[in-house]
Amino acid sequence: MSDSIGISLLGAGNVGSAVLDTLLADVERHNNLIGTKLKLNYVLVQDVDKHKKKSPNIHFTKDFEQIVNDPDTSIVVELIGGESPAKDYLSKLLKSGKHVVTANKDVMAKYGSELNDLAIQNNSSIKYEASVGGGIPIIGPLSRDLLANEISSISAIINGTTNYMLSLMLSEDVSYEDALEQAQKLGYAEPNPVNDVEGIDATYKLAILCGLAFHVDVDPSEIYSKGISNIELQDLKYADELGYSIKLLAKADLIGNRITCLVCPTLIPKSEPLSKVDGVLNAIQLKGNLVGQVVFEGPGAGASATSSAILGDVIDTAKNIHSSWKESSNSILNKIQINDIGDFQSRFYIRVNVIDEPGVLATIAGIMSEHSISIASVIQAASDPEKNTAQIVLITHDASQKNIDLALNTISKEKKVDKIFNLLPIVN
């Protein structure tokens, strides 16, 4: 029996340094769980001097080849993020027979199947629990505990940064920019925060969840996605008055052999559990034919919570190495098509600024009716007597996205319509 398992890290930023701290502090505990020691070999970073000053006893390197060619490294944890060079590094590591743990949703959403295949061909393994939902266990349950179920729907809040921002803006009257700065300071945001606020990060995570839940390969670029950068404090306040929270919701519904998939800021009734998921918390609600509805909730970002998921994968991998037990990978079973977003049916919230004159509402209602859209309620939210404009919020009955887009296109050309601020779906 070997007396230790060698581990190296790629990246020592927000998450990487939390993983390092626990690896170095909990040696005894890991030893007991695995049955042998984890030995830290190399840590790949960009700025070796900066890291060396803080932790002189760790072997930092800029040279990836040193890690991939190190015969004493069996497990590599990838925490540099982004697509390049991470994808290339992960492929090389798997080809060289190393076991890999990653938190990288960009790469897993786009190349998950390819990397899983590489792992199988090379007797290596890849684990990625931290890639969705930060500290929440979700990849494990979907790959194992829920396998007997046919999953029919996923409704999820899977971006901690935007959930934190939307909660803070409403509860503390904080501007969008200040809320983003705060999320970055807390280490929640991606190295490029545009991925968070424009819904890209959530789209990657939804693609990963769809792959596991529906046994399909979903190309993230096929998922309709809209971020929160258009959401203003006013939208959050109007929604609140109407009895809703606005959340960046990732949703996928399987009907027959088609899925409707979208990531979009969405109004959720306050009676729904997802509307109460605030701050950096994430929640993933799944419906399975056997289990019914299950909800996984917990911290969706942050160094410590994320290190929990990563180290869980590391310990599991090390135990497998130690007992030479190999797991089968997730298999792609179904051929399923993604629905056109135009077919998506929902109630909608629409905020428009109009010229405050008689007949404007009738014009808007007329155009809606021409596109088979029925209005459920209208509120005149605010008016500006100096500009002679008024802001109105319309709530529609169920309508298709296609009809709504056509109607709004016509409405936006009306002289009496000043600006359409936001169009958001409402969860039934």
Q: Hey, how many other C-beta atoms are within 10 angstroms of the C-beta on 32?
A: 9
Q: How far is the CB of 332 from ligand NDP (least distance, A)?
A: 24
Site string for ligand NDP, 122-161 (x = CB under 6 A): --------x---x---------------------------
12 binds, among ligand NDP, ligand HSE, none (CB under 5 to 8 A by kind): ligand NDP
205 in catalytic set: yes
Angle between helices 14-25 and 303-323 (to 10 degrees): 50
Q: Give the residue among 130, 131, 159 at the shortest CA–CA distance from 280.
A: 159
Looking at the Cβ atoms of 129 and 235, the one nearer to ligand NDP is 129
The whole-angstrom distance between residue 113's C-alpha and the CA centroid of its chain comes to 18
Give yes or no for residue 67 binding ligand NDP (CB under 6 A).
no
161 binds, among ligand HSE, ligand NDP, none (CB under 5 to 8 A by kind): ligand HSE
Binding residue (CB under 6 A) for ligand NDP from 73, 159, 266, 306? 306
Q: Per CB under 6 A, which region of 298-306, 325-333, 344-352, 398-406 contacts ligand NDP?
A: 298-306
Q: Per CB under 6 A, which region of 225-233, 252-260, 300-308, 411-419 contacts ligand NDP?
A: 300-308
Looking at the Cβ atoms of 6 and 220, the one nearer to ligand HSE is 220
Q: Which of 205, 226, 247, 287 is catalytic?
A: 205
Binding residue (CB under 6 A) for ligand NDP from 5, 7, 23, 44? 44
Instruction: Please give the angle made by the CA atoms of 366, 371 and 377, to the nearest 5 degrees.
Output: 60
Give dist(CA 332, CA 239) in Å, integer. 40
Looking at the Cβ atoms of 35 and 85, the one nearer to ligand NDP is 85
- Cβ-count burial 342-363 (b if 16+ within 10 Å, e if not): eebebbbbbbbbbebeeebbeb
- Residues 6+ positions from 172 with CB-CB distance below 8 Å: none
Binders of ligand NDP among residues 182 to 201 (CB under 6 A) are 187-188, 190-191
Query: What values do phi and psi take at 254, rounded to 5?
Result: -100, 120
The whole-angstrom distance between residue 24's C-alpha and the CA centroid of its chain comes to 29
Residue found under tokens 């909730």: 297
Residue found under tokens 């039934």: 428
Give yes or no for residue 15 binding ligand NDP (CB under 6 A).
yes
Provide the CB-side half-sphere exposure for 308 (13 A, CA): 14
Q: Give the residue among 423, 413, 426, 399 at the shortest CA–CA distance from 364.
A: 413
Binding residue (CB under 6 A) for ligand NDP from 80, 314, 407, 408? 80
Q: How far is the CB of 142 from ligand NDP (least distance, A)?
A: 17
Give dist(CA 307, CA 204) in Å, integer. 20
Looking at the Cβ atoms of 90 and 417, the one nearer to ligand HSE is 90
245 binds, among ligand HSE, ligand NDP, none (CB under 5 to 8 A by kind): none
What is the four-CA torsion angle of 328, 329, 333, 335, rounded to 10 degrees? -170
- The contact set with ligand HSE (CB under 6 A) reads 134, 159-161, 188-190, 196, 201, 300-301
Q: Catalytic residue numbers?
A: 205
Q: Which residues are near ligand NDP by CB under 6 A?
A: 11-16, 44-47, 79-81, 85, 103-105, 130, 134, 187-188, 190-191, 301-302, 306
